[in-house]
Structure 1
Amino acid sequence: MLSLRQFGIHLKNSRTYLWIAFMLFVVGFVLGMVNAEFLQRVVIDQLKGLQEVSGKLSQSTNPELSFFIFIFFNNAIKGVLMIYLGILAGVIPVFFLLVNGMVLGYLIEAQAAHGNNLADLIFKGLLPHGIIEIPAIIIASAFGIKFGIVSLKGLGRKITGKAERGAREWSVLAKSSLNVSFWIVILLLIAAIIESTLTFHLVKG
């Protein structure tokens, strides 16, 4: 049930939703790039909060471990929640993708506007862990969107008297979500290890 091969099959069977999730993230990223001033007012408090947390974690007796615990649990909980909260018509994972894309776009645009080195930001601060973390977030949100679509279809079939077919589709998706959730957590675990060690020292140094 938790095999990597099965995870690959689930991804293959959900290609359409993966593309939808990817495009939503890209749309969010572009909006973040072109509306940096507007987003500054929207996300500045959130970023300040993260900076405060980062400062406290940096002052702990073991910063790497503290960052790892915070990053992993924060991302893993959100990743799994995006899958199952998608049951609400897929609205929450859609919003999550757009916001995360916008924040990333805003950060890059803001760095460029201040004349900072974008190569350092991308290759030292984002790419080492982001190459795993961002796809994991997109995959989790894609399955959340799929949950939402299947839920809406199930509701429609219940109204039209075809609830049995919807129940079967729901059962298959629910079982596959366990496998997907497991591998999302594994991917985010690897990303958290990289971010709390390699990325941490690249940015710090």
Structure 2
Amino acid sequence: MLSFNTFIRDLGTIRKALLTAALLFIAGGVIGWIGTGSLQQLLNEQLKGISEISGDLRESSNPQWSFFVFIFLNNSIKSVVIIFLGALFGILPVLFLLINGAVIGYLIHLSAIQGQDLFTLIVKGLLPHGIIEIPAIIIACAFGLRFGGKALSALLRAGKRNEREADHWQAFMRQTFTASVWIVILLFIAAIIESTITFSLLS
């Protein structure tokens, strides 16, 4: 039930949700790139918060360990929670994807405007861990979107439930459990990379 092959097969059953999640993340990146006015102010606040946390972690007695613990717990807890909060008709996964995409898009655009080296930012700062972290987050949100779709469908069919639908829910909940385990594992690996390789490349 918890095998990686089962996880991959389960992804095949939520292809539409995966595509939707990926497009929402990309849309967030575009929104962040062109963000102005109040949106720009919101994204600046997000980056300011990240910068403050990063500064505190760097001043700890063991920065790399502190970065690892924070990154892993922050990403894994949020990703698992967003799967199940998706039951609220998928609203929170949508916001989560748009906001995270926007922060990355805005950061890249801001760095380009300031004349910073985008190669260093993208290839050294984002790619090593992002190649695992971003897909893991998109997968988590895709399951959240699917959860929301199923919840909405069940609400519309209230009073017409049958054993077959109960079986579908049981199968889906098994999928979310398997996905949660593998998403945490993937984010654990990403956190190791970010707190070691990415940390060293950007130091």
Fold shared per TM-score above 0.5: yes
CA-to-partner distance for each residue in 1:48-87, whole Å, 9 max, x for gaps?
Answer: 1221111111111111101000000000001101110000
The CA deviation at 1:36 is: 4.9
Runs of 4+ in 1 over 4 A off after TM superposition: none
Equivalence for 1:177:
176
Instruction: Give 1:148's aligned residue.
Output: 148
Distance 1:125 1:19 in 2: 25
Letter in 2 for 1:56: D
Q: 2:58 aligns to what?
A: 58
Whichever residue aligns with residue 10 of structure 1, its letter is D
The whole-number CA distance in structure 1 between the counterparts of 2:117 and 2:162 is 56
* TM-score of the two chains, using structure 2 as the length reference: 0.96
Q: Residues 113 and 37 from structure 1, CA distance in 2 versus in 1: closer, same or farther, beyond 3 angstroms?
A: farther
Task: Work out the CA distance in 1 between the residues paired with 2:77 and 2:36.
Answer: 28
- 2:191 aligns to what SS in structure 1? helix
Q: Deviations over 1:87-118 (max 9, x none)?
A: 00000001100111111100000001111111
SS at the partner of 2:157? Answer: helix
Count the aligned residue pairs: 203
Q: Distance in 1 between matches of 2:146 and 2:14?
A: 8
Q: Take 2:59 and 2:36, find their aligned partners in 1: how far apart are those partners?
A: 31
- Tell me: CA distance 1:37–1:109, structure 2 relative to 1, closer, same or farther (3 Å): farther
Q: Work out whether residues 82 and 140 of structure 1, in 8 Å CA contact, stay in contact via their aligned partners in 2.
A: yes
Name the % identity.
Answer: 52
Gaps of 5+ in 2: none
1:131 matched to 2:131? The reply is yes
Could you tell me which amino acid in structure 1 is paired with residue 201 of structure 2? L
Q: Which residue identity lines up with residue 82 of structure 2 in the other structure?
A: M
1:84 aligns with 2:76: no
Q: Compute the RMSD of aligned alpha carbons.
A: 1.2
Give the TM-score, by structure 1 length. Answer: 0.95
